[in-house]
């Protein structure tokens, strides 16, 4: 076989692996429960239920569904919100914390398939709660998960049934609970830590074991390459986390991981809702996961950088997600939706830095 074909096949296999690892990250605690030994599975189930109940935080959004969704039998969508939240940023910005990563997952129950859409943080979109166009990362600063959900619904014209929000500490605590992860550092890194202390984390290139703060620095840095490369690093880090989490045998490690996620997560999914996802995770090779990305171009408006989405590609993406959810006949038309308002002001978000 020619070398270029061998390389191409290896690349395709790696991409498929990364896609599945990204989705598994959503349900790592539950998969550990499902795959754990029978001797303490019941205890872990109760532990997971306890931390999920503590994380439960419903939001009062305008639903695009005509009927109530049941994840045990219906196709659903989940918005994953990663926020650049830390103690130092809470002091500086209060609740006006931006989203650092947005990922929409649509799940088709019958097909056991998942569509994953990454939304660039600087995408120039309409934010209905503010009645203006802005970076989508600012939607969370303006109105938290509620306004982020409504903005994504407006942008994609699909219902967002659930959200899961995690912060820096969830990432750090999970890695530390695993006693670190083994990853490749591509080049020398000098990066701030989770509390924004400049040059607090210094890494040399090479394959090595990183603790939580070091792994976060590797995931966040983008000074020497592109956002695409940043995304690839994050995929490899997530892959390392899941591999380590599913390989450990220690009972205490399992409980520590579940606790770490629960302490730093907010979601409107109940524990029973989350358990419905295990079917997807246990489908193994039968699970089909496709990733989607939004095309666009760099642009400046009044000397501020934005990522301007390609309208044709956006419409194609909407059609794909609608077909996967099967929502064409089950969503409310835009014209019949009541407008949602929010009392948050946008001054903090507009003035905050976009360095990370």
pLDDT in tens, 35-53: 444 445 677 777 778 888 8
Give ∠ CA 143-30-74 in degrees, rounded to 5.
65
Contact 14, 235 (CB under 8 A): no
Contact 183, 215 (CB under 8 A): yes
The pLDDT tens digits of the residues spanning 182-205 come to: 999 999 999 988 888 889 999 999
Question: Per the structure block, which two tokens stand in for 323?
Answer: 């077909």
Q: What are phi and psi of 20, to 5 degrees?
A: -70, -35
What tens digit of pLDDT does each residue of 132-185 get? 999 999 999 999 999 999 999 999 999 999 998 988 788 888 899 889 999 999
**DSSP line for 248-290:** ---HHHHHHHHHHHHHTEEES--HHHHHTTHHHHTTGGG-EEE
Q: What is the reported pTM?
A: 0.74
* CA–CA dist 312, 295 (Å, integer): 9
Cα–Cα dist 227/247, whole Å: 30
Express each pLDDT in 204-254 by its tens digit.
Answer: 999 999 999 999 899 878 778 766 566 667 767 877 876 787 676 666 777
SS3 188: coil
Rounded Cα gap, residues 250 and 258, in angstroms: 13
Domains of the chain: 12-328 (3.40.630.190)
Whether 101 shows a pLDDT value over 70: the answer reads yes
Residues sharing a CB contact under 8 Å with residue 341, sequence separation 6 or more, in sequence order: 129
Helix H, strand E, coil C: the string for 101-128 is EEEEEEEECCCCEEEEEEECCCEEEEEC
């Amino acid at each position: 076989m020619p070398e270029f074909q061998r390389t191409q096949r290896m690349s395709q296999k790696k991409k498929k692996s990364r896609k599945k690892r990204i989705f598994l990250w959503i349900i790592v605690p539950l998969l550990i429960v499902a795959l754990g030994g029978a001797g303490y599975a019941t205890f872990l189930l109760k532990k997971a239920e306890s931390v999920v109940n503590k994380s439960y935080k419903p939001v009062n959004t305008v639903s695009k569904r005509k009927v109530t969704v049941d994840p045990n039998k219906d196709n659903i969508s989940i918005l994953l919100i990663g926020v650049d939240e830390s103690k130092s940023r809470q002091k500086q910005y209060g609740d006006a914390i931006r989203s650092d990563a947005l990922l929409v997952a649509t799940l088709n129950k019958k097909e056991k398939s998942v569509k994953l859409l990454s939304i660039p943080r600087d995408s120039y979109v309409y934010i209905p709660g503010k009645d203006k166009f802005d970076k989508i990362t600012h939607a969370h600063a303006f109105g938290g998960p509620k306004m982020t959900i409504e903005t994504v619904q407006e942008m994609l014209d699909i219902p967002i049934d659930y959200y899961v929000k995690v912060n820096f500490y969830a990432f750090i605590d999970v890695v530390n609970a695993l006693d670190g992860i083994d990853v490749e550092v591509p080049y020398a890194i000098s990066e701030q830590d989770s509390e924004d202390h400049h040059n607090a984390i210094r890494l040399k290139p090479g394959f090595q074991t990183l603790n939580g703060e070091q792994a976060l620095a590797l995931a966040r840095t983008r000074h020497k390459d592109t956002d695409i490369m940043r995304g690839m690093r994050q995929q490899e880090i997530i892959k390392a986390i899941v591999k380590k989490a599913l390989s450990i045998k220690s009972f205490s490690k399992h409980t520590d991981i579940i606790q770490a996620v629960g302490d730093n997560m907010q979601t409107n999914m109940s524990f029973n809702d989350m358990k419905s996802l295990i079917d997807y995770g246990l489908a193994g090779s039968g699970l089909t996961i496709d990733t989607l990305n939004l095309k666009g171009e760099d642009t400046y408006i009044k000397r501020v950088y934005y990522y301007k989405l390609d309208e044709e590609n956006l419409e194609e993406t909407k059609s794909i997600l609608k077909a996967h959810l099967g929502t064409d006949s089950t969503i409310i038309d835009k014209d019949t939706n009541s407008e949602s308002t929010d009392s948050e002001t946008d001054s903090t978000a507009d003035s905050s830095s976009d360095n990370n």
